[in-house]
Amino acid sequence: MCKRDFKLDLAKGFLIVLVVFGHCVQYSFGPEWLISEKFFKDVIFKTIYSFHMPLFMLISGYLFYNSNQKEFRHLIISKLKAIGIPILSYIFLCNMILYSFFLRHGNVIGIIEHYCKSVFFGMTLWFLLSLLLMILTVAILTRIFKKKYLLHIAMFTIFIASLLAPDSIIPSVHKFMFPFFCIGYITKQNDIPLYSSYQHKFLLGTLSLLSIFAICWFNKDTYIYTSGICIVGNYAEQFQIDCKRIVIALIVSYTFMQYINILARHRNVLTKKVSKLGQMSLFIYGMNTVFNIYYSKLTSILSINFHFNYLIPITITLCFLLICCWLYKLLEKTKFTCIALLGKNCVH
C-alpha cells in the first residue's frame, strides 16, 4: 500500500473546509441573498473561489500519476468504484423527494431520465464527474503517447480544442478543470513538488502579495459559472478571461501550498484533524451537496432570510464538519455504505 502524503492530506483538508464554508456563504442566508448574487462580491468568497477547486483538481492530477501505472482495465474499474458509485449514491440522495413523487405516480421512466440527466449533464457533484473525465482522458492519452513531449502536446491540443467547443456541448466547468489536472500530473511526472523546498521569507512575502493582487483582480466575470470558457464569437475578451482564471488560480494555489508546507512541519492536534478531513474529502463534498440542496429548499419554502453575518456560515460549517466526522466513523463500519458513500472497499 502507498504511504499517504501528510502535506497533501492537510492541503485537501483545508480545501474541503473552504468548500463547505464557501457554500455556506452562498446558501446560508436564504433565497433573497442567493437570488441577489451578492456573495460574488464578498472578499472571502472571492478568495476561496479564486483557487480552491482548481487546486483540488491539480492535487488529484498529481496523485493520479502513481495510480496511472496500473493496468488500464483495473485502473478504470477501481476509479469507477471509488468515484462513480458515490456519484450515483449522492445524486440519489439529492433527489429523493422528487423520485418519491415520481414513484407515487408510477413514473419510473421519469426517474431514469432525470437520473441520467443529473449524472451526465447536471451540475450536481460536477467536480467528481470532472475528476472521472480527467482520469479517463489522461489514462487514454498516456497509453497512446508514450513520450513525454507528445503527451504534453496532446494535452495542450485538447485544451485549445476545448476553448473552441461550445459550452453547451461540453460543460464549461469540465473544460476549466482539464489544464489543472494535467499540470498536476506533469508536475508529479517530472518529480516537481507542489511547493518550494526553501522557505525564504522574501519568497513567501512576494507570493502573498501576488496572491492579494490576483484576488483583487478576480471579479464576477472571472467565475467559471458566470462567463463560460468558449472563445468562439468573443475571442479577445473571453480568451483574456480564460487566461486570467488560470493565472490567478495558479498563483494563489502555489502560495497556499507554501503555507501548507510550513504548517505540515508541526504535527499537532489541529493539523492531524485537518489531514483527517482531507482523507474524508469525497464524503464531505457529497454530503455538503446534499445538505445545500435541502437547506435551500427549506429556506425557500419557509421564506427564511437572514442578514449577512459571518457568524452564521462559520457556525454551520463547524457543526456540519463535526456531524460528517461522526457519520464517517459510523458508515465505515458497513461494507455497503463504505462502497456507496465513502468510495472505499475496506470496513473498519
Contact by Cβ (8 Å): 46, 18 = no
Instruction: Look at residue 347 in the predicted model and tell me its pLDDT.
Output: 64
Residues 344 and 82: their CA atoms lie apart, in Å, by 6
CA distance 94 to 290: 5
Query: Does 318 score more than 90 pLDDT?
Result: yes
Mean pLDDT for 158-182 is 92
- Residue keyed to cell 495558479: 250
Helix (H) or strand (E) run with residue 250 in it: helix 235-263
Q: Which of 207, 167, 216, 180 is nearest to 52 (CA)?
A: 180
| Average pLDDT of the residues in 193-208 | 85
pLDDT at 199: 67
Grade residue 190 by pLDDT with cuts at 50, 70 and 90: very high
Cell (9 digits) for 8: 497533501
Bigger pLDDT: 200 or 56?
56
What confidence tier does 1 reach under pLDDT thresholds 50, 70, 90?
very low
Q: Give the per-residue pLDDT at 123.
A: 83
Q: What does the block give as the cell for 305?
A: 432570510
- CB 290 within 8 Å of CB 90: yes
pLDDT, mean of residues 223-231:
91
pTM, to two decimals: 0.95
* Amino acid 3: pLDDT: 74
pLDDT of 62? 97
Helix (H) or strand (E) holding 79: helix 72-79
309 closest CA partner among 20, 7, 51, 44: 44
- Condensed to tens digits (0 to 9), the pLDDT of residues 101-157 reads 988 888 889 889 988 888 888 888 999 999 999 999 999 999 999 999 999 999 999
Please determine, for residue 2, whether its predicted confidence score (pLDDT) is greater than 60: no
Reported confidence tier of residue 85, pLDDT bands at 50, 70, 90: very high
Residue 58 has pLDDT above 60, yes or no: yes
Question: What mean pLDDT do residues 204-224 have?
Answer: 94
The answer to whether residues 13 and 277 touch, using CB atoms and an 8 Å cutoff, is yes
Q: What is the pLDDT of residues 261-297, one digit of tens each?
A: 999 988 999 999 999 999 999 999 999 999 999 999 9
Q: Quick one: which of 160, 162, 158, 164 has its CA closest to 231? A: 164
The C-alpha atoms of residue 316 and residue 156 are separated, in whole angstroms, by 41
Neighbours of 312 (CB within 10 A): 15
Q: What is the rounded distance in angstroms from the CA atom of residue 264 to the CA atom of residue 271?
A: 7
Share of the chain above pLDDT 90, in %: 82
Q: Is the pLDDT of residue 307 over 90?
A: yes
* Nearest Cα to Cα of residue 27 among 316, 292, 286: 292
Contact 149, 139 (CB under 8 A): no
Q: What is the pLDDT of residues 62-81, one digit of tens each?
A: 999 999 999 999 999 999 99
DSSP state of 166: -
Mean pLDDT across 42-71: 96
